[in-house]
Amino acid sequence: MSVEMMTLERAQQLLQTYYGYPDFREGQKRIVLSLLEGNDTLGIMPTGGGKSICYQIPALMLPGLTLVVSPLISLMKDQVDALTAAGISAAYINSTLTGKEVNERIRAAKRGDLKLLYVAPERLEVDWFRDEMSALSISCVAVDEAHCVSQWGHDFRTSYLSVAPFVESLPQRPILAAFTATATPEVTGDMVRLLRLEQPEVFVTGLSRDNLAMSVLRGENKREFVIKYAAEHAQEPGIIYAATRKDVDDLYERLRSAGIASGRYHAGMSDEERAASQEAFLYDDIRVMVATNAFGMGIDKSNVRYVIHFNMPKNMEAYIQEAGRAGRDGEPSQCILLFGAQDIITQKFLIEQNPQDSDRKANDYRKLQQMVDYCYTTKCLRSAMLDYFGEEHQDQPCGICSSCTDDREQVDMTIDAQKIFSCIHRMRERFGVSMVAAVLKGSRNKKVLQYGFDDLSTYGAMSDRTEKEISEIINVMASEGYLMLSEGQYPVLKLQPLAAEVLKGQRSVMQRMPAKSAESPAGRAGGSRKHDYSQSAVNETVFEQLRLIRRELAGKEHVPSYIIFNDATLREMSVVCPQTEHDMLNVKGVGEVKFRKYGKPFLDFFKDMGGDRFEGDYE
């Protein structure tokens, strides 16, 4: 057996023993092996991709200590709680501890009692801390949320710049591992340069998550949709992101009046209010969180069943980061983006408001346009997203996104497309979407008349449709590559080579076009469930009972419920109804240590249930 195989086998054993998972995800395997071979490694993985295991398993196999640089106190605590629950010795040092507690933990590290130590980056700048660390044997430094080192990112944090000097101050250079969910070329370059990674192995992985059904819904009554959706999924935790505090407050009030247990989170609230709200969500006391994008970093809640975007975010990076907070436990979950044309105006306003140089501005506009293209594409949304981020994937459509499940018939749009392209040509490619739509509609709008566009042969060529519908069609054509929108605040439509082929009659355009009236969107976004343990097979009563047991344990242990077992694990239990320790250890997410700590009440429950399984009603 090769060394690599042996290493992998050992790593897999540890994964089963401590985490109860039989296999690594594809990307995890490559990252773990790279670190164990001693390479500096950069892992670019979305939220929920399973980053922590990538450095925690090597930490168990490498001699000495793994130091984890982590930006948020809540994140550290959560990770250490989870590790402790799994039987792995870990601790954190941060400003919430007393001097005495800090010293105890450093002593524990010196005794070799800790495999992982979590610290905030600021700590690395403190002289005495550096001295203490120099006296330890540190084999790996893992930098979480590594994009914080870059000013290109959205969370620049100066103290991340002290990681590299800190590492160099150690008597022996440890392996450096860096992780982030943000993967633009600028940020990647900065991470390599500013963290001084040496010939790093870079892995982009895990963006494709089979359990997430992505949807974009255009032309909804957004408020109605949100209330209806939350009411129909009252038992499921969900996050609703809105762009402004005002919208957050408004949605929050509406949800409350509809009797839905909700909380809210935005920068206008006091620290205490926000902490209380976040806590209530983590502990499942409220099901729905309405928030601005201030909410999320450090939220490790794994059973979020849906993330709804009330507004389109500024770019795909932001969108995927936020939407990716759904379904971290691998269970089927929904990511729904409610798109309205107003969102584009809002985002442009924000770009204009933000003082910055012209390069950055152009960059922001380009990214905004790519986000808009995503909202209009009729291609598989998962493929569109992977293409955007440059992750390799099979050409197969996902089958569960709103494009894949769109069962409207494809219609031949060639004639409409020709009218649009020819109109743009006649307007000399100098105008934007709404002006072209107005001309095609045959509007008496002052500007249309002023330019004499009512003399064009295409004037009124699509008068049977509304201007809004025409705009929609133009936007779809743009996202499909027939047209390009120039960069900047007032983008102008330009014809692309594909459009020329259509005009010459060499290519026809088949499209699912915007329906005139929206069908039941909540139903559509429900998606199909493509999973081993389908809703119907799971006995909901049993699942609810297991949740109660978990809640009680969580209360006793003072940890959030999912630290005990996540929803996916409880669901699997509710299907297989384990009767023995062996059965229980075969359930994904049940490791040996966790079984010893928490397994008994669950096993007792199934023993009491006896042969009654699958019959329902255990009251």
The binding track of 557-576 with respect to ligand ADP, each residue x by CB under 6 A or -, is ---------x----------
Binding at 566: pick from Zn ion, ligand ADP, none (beta carbon under 5-8 Å per type):
ligand ADP
Other beta carbons within 10 angstroms of residue 375's beta carbon come to: 22
User: With respect to ligand ADP, which residue has the nearer C-beta, 389 or 451?
Assistant: 389
Q: Long-range contacts of range 94-101, CB-CB < 8 Å, 24 or more positions apart?
A: 94/118, 94/119, 94/120, 94/123, 95/120
User: With respect to ligand ADP, which residue has the nearer C-beta, 25 or 382?
Assistant: 25
- Cα 505 vs. chain centroid, distance in angstroms? 42
User: With respect to ligand ADP, which residue has the nearer C-beta, 24 or 543?
Assistant: 24
Rg (CA), the chain: 27
- Looking only at residues 304 through 333 of this chain, which bind ligand ADP when binding is defined by CB under 6 A? 328-330
Report yes or no: 459 and 419 within 8 Å, Cβ to Cβ.
no
Applying CB under 5 A, which part among 62-70, 176-184, 373-381, 451-459 lies near Zn ion? Answer: 373-381
What's the longest Cα–Cα distance across the chain? 86
User: With respect to ligand ADP, which residue has the nearer C-beta, 155 or 406?
Assistant: 155
User: With respect to ligand ADP, which residue has the nearer C-beta, 57 or 439?
Assistant: 57
With CB under 5 A, what is the number of residues at the site for Zn ion? 6
Q: What is residue 398's three-state secondary structure? A: coil
Taking CA atoms, 605 is separated from 86, 466, 502, 552, 599, in Å, by 22, 61, 66, 13, 10
Binding at 380: pick from ligand ADP, Zn ion, none (beta carbon under 5-8 Å per type):
Zn ion
Binding at 604: pick from Zn ion, ligand ADP, none (beta carbon under 5-8 Å per type):
none
Report yes or no: 44 and 28 within 8 Å, Cβ to Cβ.
no
Binding at 416: pick from Zn ion, ligand ADP, none (beta carbon under 5-8 Å per type):
none
* Rounded distance between C-alpha atoms, residue 95 and residue 481, angstroms: 52
DSSP type of residue 581:
H
Strand order in the sheet with 90-93: 90-93, 116-119, 65-69, 138-143, 175-180, 41-44, 201-204
Tokens of 372: 């808009």
| Residue 235 beta carbon to ligand ADP: minimum distance, rounded to whole angstroms | 20
397 makes contact with Zn ion (CB under 5 A): yes
Question: Which phi and psi (to 5°) does residue 202 adopt?
Answer: -115, 130
| Residue 472 beta carbon to Zn ion: minimum distance, rounded to whole angstroms | 20
Applying CB under 5 A, which part among 253-261, 391-399, 524-532, 544-552 lies near Zn ion? Answer: 391-399
Applying CB under 6 A, which part among 23-31, 331-339, 418-426, 545-553 lies near ligand ADP? Answer: 23-31
User: With respect to Zn ion, which residue has the nearer C-beta, 406 or 487?
Assistant: 406
Report yes or no: 159 and 71 within 8 Å, Cβ to Cβ.
no
- Looking only at residues 59 through 118 of this chain, which bind Zn ion when binding is defined by CB under 5 A? none
Binding at 145: pick from ligand ADP, Zn ion, none (beta carbon under 5-8 Å per type):
none
DSSP type of residue 159:
G
Q: In the Cβ-directed half-sphere of 301, how many Cα atoms lie within 13 Å?
A: 28
* Rounded distance between C-alpha atoms, residue 398 and residue 123, angstroms: 44
Query: H or E element: which one contains 274?
Result: helix 271-282
- Looking only at residues 44 through 73 of this chain, which bind ligand ADP when binding is defined by CB under 6 A? 45, 47-53
User: With respect to ligand ADP, which residue has the nearer C-beta, 329 or 469?
Assistant: 329
Binding at 479: pick from Zn ion, ligand ADP, none (beta carbon under 5-8 Å per type):
none
Report yes or no: 404 and 398 within 8 Å, Cβ to Cβ.
yes
Among 18, 25, 377, 545, binds ligand ADP (CB under 6 A): 25
| Residue 171 beta carbon to ligand ADP: minimum distance, rounded to whole angstroms | 30
Binding at 302: pick from ligand ADP, Zn ion, none (beta carbon under 5-8 Å per type):
ligand ADP
401 makes contact with Zn ion (CB under 5 A): yes
* Rounded distance between C-alpha atoms, residue 71 and residue 149, angstroms: 11
| Residue 25 beta carbon to ligand ADP: minimum distance, rounded to whole angstroms | 5
Q: Is 100 exposed, middle or buried (0-12, 13-18, 19+ CB in 10 A)?
A: exposed
The binding track of 276-305 with respect to ligand ADP, each residue x by CB under 6 A or -, is ------------------------x-x---
Angle at alpha carbon of residue 242, lines to 237 and 245, rounded to 5°: 115
441 makes contact with ligand ADP (CB under 6 A): no
| Residue 397 beta carbon to Zn ion: minimum distance, rounded to whole angstroms | 4
Binding at 327: pick from ligand ADP, Zn ion, none (beta carbon under 5-8 Å per type):
none
Q: What is residue 116's three-state secondary structure? A: strand
| Residue 46 beta carbon to ligand ADP: minimum distance, rounded to whole angstroms | 7
Applying CB under 6 A, which part among 40-48, 311-319, 438-446, 503-511 lies near ligand ADP? Answer: 40-48
Binding at 303: pick from ligand ADP, Zn ion, none (beta carbon under 5-8 Å per type):
none
The binding track of 522-561 with respect to ligand ADP, each residue x by CB under 6 A or -, is ----------------------------------------
Among 24, 92, 431, 482, binds ligand ADP (CB under 6 A): 24
Residue ranges of alpha helices (H) inside 17-126 are 26-36, 51-61, 73-85, 99-110
Phi-psi domain of 38 (left: phi exceeds 0; alpha: psi -120 through 50; beta: other) = left
* Rounded distance between C-alpha atoms, residue 284 and residue 561, angstroms: 8
207 makes contact with Zn ion (CB under 5 A): no
User: With respect to ligand ADP, which residue has the nearer C-beta, 296 or 340?
Assistant: 296
**CA torsion sign, 27 to 32 to 38 to 40?**
positive
398 makes contact with Zn ion (CB under 5 A): yes
- Cα 347 vs. chain centroid, distance in angstroms? 20
**CA torsion sign, 500 to 503 to 509 to 514?**
positive
Other beta carbons within 10 angstroms of residue 263's beta carbon come to: 23
With CB under 6 A, what is the number of residues at the site for ligand ADP? 19
Closest CA to 299 of 283, 317, 278: 278
Binding at 561: pick from ligand ADP, Zn ion, none (beta carbon under 5-8 Å per type):
none
Applying CB under 5 A, which part among 84-92, 403-411, 556-564, 569-577 lies near Zn ion? Answer: 403-411
Give the interface with ligand ADP as residue ranges (CB under 6 A). 21, 23-25, 28, 45, 47-53, 300, 302, 328-330, 566
Residues lying near Zn ion in the complex (CB under 5 A):
380, 382, 397-398, 401, 404
